[in-house]
């Protein structure tokens, strides 16, 4: 009986937490006087994961100069991270943090997992997310490096 009550209490607590909507902070919105970086979208056919195609985005801050080193960060599930109206809005956050000097000039690479194109017209593409993100091998690190 005690175990059932404890599980019910924990489950209720978790559900309450999930029900609370995260409120974006001020760094998630464009700020006056803060220069905006550029985001460019590309598609890529992988040789490491043959047959897959993926979208990726490159964020370059306005303060970037090719004559000076810049930091680099790579995000998985890139479409969600890079969206201007999404849950994370990373490029806007980077614009604000770089302008204040809270982080160095940082280039962002936002990569979606690969998909295998649909086999039939009107069919659904098949995601390669789990083999890329969950496998215990060196393929994903090679994919990023090469």
Model confidence over 29-81: pLDDT tens digits? 999 999 999 999 999 999 999 999 999 999 999 999 999 999 999 999 999 99
Model confidence at 108: pLDDT above 60 = yes
Instruction: Give the range among 11-15, 49-53, 83-87 with minimum mean pLDDT.
Output: 11-15
In the predicted model, is pLDDT for residue 83 greater than 90? yes
Indicate whether 6 pLDDT > 60: no
Residue 20 has pLDDT above 60, yes or no: yes
Q: What pTM did the predictor assign?
A: 0.83
pLDDT band, residue 146 (cuts 50/70/90)? confident
Report d(CA 23, CA 134) in Å as an integer: 30
Q: Are 113 and 128 a contacting pair, CB within 8 Å?
A: yes
Helix (H) / strand (E) containing 70: none
**What number of H helices and E strands is found in the chain?**
5, 6
Tokens 């936002």 belong to which residue?
Answer: 110
Quote the mean pLDDT of the chain: 90
pLDDT of res. 14: 60
């Amino acid at each position: 009986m005690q175990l059932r009550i404890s599980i019910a209490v924990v489950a209720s607590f978790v559900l309450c937490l999930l029900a609370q909507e995260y409120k974006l902070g001020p760094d998630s919105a464009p700020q006056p006087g803060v220069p905006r970086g550029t985001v460019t979208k590309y598609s890529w056919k992988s040789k490491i994961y043959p047959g897959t195609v993926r979208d990726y985005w490159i964020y370059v801050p306005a303060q970037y100069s090719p004559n000076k080193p810049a930091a680099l960060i790579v995000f998985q599930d890139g479409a969600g991270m890079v969206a201007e109206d999404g849950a994370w809005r990373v490029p806007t956050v980077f614009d604000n943090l770089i302008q204040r000097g809270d982080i160095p000039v940082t280039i962002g690479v936002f990569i979606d997992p690969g998909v295998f194109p649909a086999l039939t017209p009107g069919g659904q593409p098949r995601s390669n997310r789990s083999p890329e993100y969950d496998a215990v091998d060196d393929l994903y690190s090679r994919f990023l490096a090469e």
